[in-house]
Structure 1
Amino acid sequence: MLVVDDEHDVADTQALKLGDRYETAVAYSGQAALDTAGPEFDAVLLDRRMPDVHGDEVLSRLRERGYDGTVIMLTAVGADLNILEMPFDDYLQKPVDQSTLLSTLDQHLDRADGDDRLDEYFRISSKLSVLEREKSTSQLEGSTEYTELKERAKKLEWVLQAETDDFEELKRTHQSISRN
């Protein structure tokens, strides 16, 4: 697990919260994250607002390099419609309590070799949930990307309900974590 935050105290605190369950490393800048992150890390907790290399850029460059581990944006930055195109797995707004952080990580890492459609569904659901808390209905309905993503989520949900025995339980767990 790589924790990335330019605020040393925040990064160290997050690493401490995770230390009992996960082996963690810390990077205190976007450039340090790019220099450090690799396939040996199952997950990256990534702050968005960093002075040297913005977290959005770090995310983009990691994915371009082929990093396919879990990336969770852990940030104080409110969500905007631009997150629809960002290739992260989940979006948590600070402050995040330890149980939410651990539950979110467990959920993503336990499914690491699972159904790609299920992973896609939960990535989309996370984005939709964050945006629905942050934006008005009129702002969302005016976005073609939001509407298309919502339709994609519905289609995936229909397929997964038919093909995944415990889909409803997985969905409830994800929703309870996303609300926190």
Structure 2
Amino acid sequence: MDDEPTVLVVDDDRQLADLYAAWLRGEYDVRTAYGGRDGIEAMDDGIDVALVDRLMPRVPGEEVLERIRADDEYDCRVSIVTAVDPDFDIIEMGFDEYLVKPVQRREIEAVVGSLLTRTEYSEKLQELFALASKRAALEAKKSAYELDASESYAELNAKFERLRCDLDRTASEMSTRDLEAEMRRVSVDG
């Protein structure tokens, strides 16, 4: 199961948490937490996506979200899954998606898939920026002859082009909303 992305479902309604987990099992490694405190305790650096209920007694989803975002060791995407209609208070919340219950299986599957694609895109984009920086540094200090003679520079360029094409392909698969969200995240993180 190490190759499967890990999804954490956090909901105080055991039946709903188990239902969402059942929908996602088979494609993902799924863990469940039946409340906010359990959700915080279940968090580790292996979680790729967290589905968090907003309204839970004692430790609400907003507190779970704040703890995830405050701890630099957790780099997961978070979707709020709640019966609360969105209001302007969500602007300051650090989630990636917001689903209003009741939700259907296809919605849960789609949001998890979308969040995983965004993560993959973000990682590749960061790698592309690093390669571009290396390339620019070399081009600023080395002659055209030295660059042409370097096998490692040719490999760097080939890797850069492969990654750029891969990003273009991934971007074409993502929705406009996914791309806008990812660009906002990259500009904030960068």
TM-score range, shorter chain: 0.5 to 0.7
Deviations 1:85-136 (A, max 9, x none): 11111001111111111111111102313248x9xxxxxxxxxxxxxxxxxx
Matches within 5 A, 1:22-171: 22-66=28-72, 67-115=74-122, 170-171=174-175
* Runs of 4+ in structure 1 over 6 Å off: none
Aligned to 1:123: none
Post-superposition shift, 1:71? 0.4
Q: Which amino acid is 2:86 matched to?
A: A
Change (3 A) 1:81 1:18: same
Change (3 A) 1:114 1:36: same
Counterparts of 2:90 and 2:97 in 1: how far apart (Å)? 10
Aligned to 2:23: 17
Which stretch of the first structure deviates more once superposed, 99-108 or 84-93?
Answer: 99-108
Q: Which amino acid is 1:94 matched to?
A: K
Counterparts of 1:168 and 1:79 in 2: how far apart (Å)? 29
Post-superposition shift, 1:23? 1.0
Q: Count residues in correspondence.
A: 130
Post-superposition shift, 1:14? 0.7
Identity of aligned residues (%): 36
Change (3 A) 1:5 1:171: same
Aligned to 2:182: none
Counterparts of 1:166 and 1:111 in 2: how far apart (Å)? 9
In our comparison, the structure showing a higher alpha carbon Rg is 2
Aligned to 2:135: none
Note the residue ranges of structure 1 that are not aligned, 5 or more in a row.
119-162, 176-180
CA RMSD for the aligned pairs? 2.3
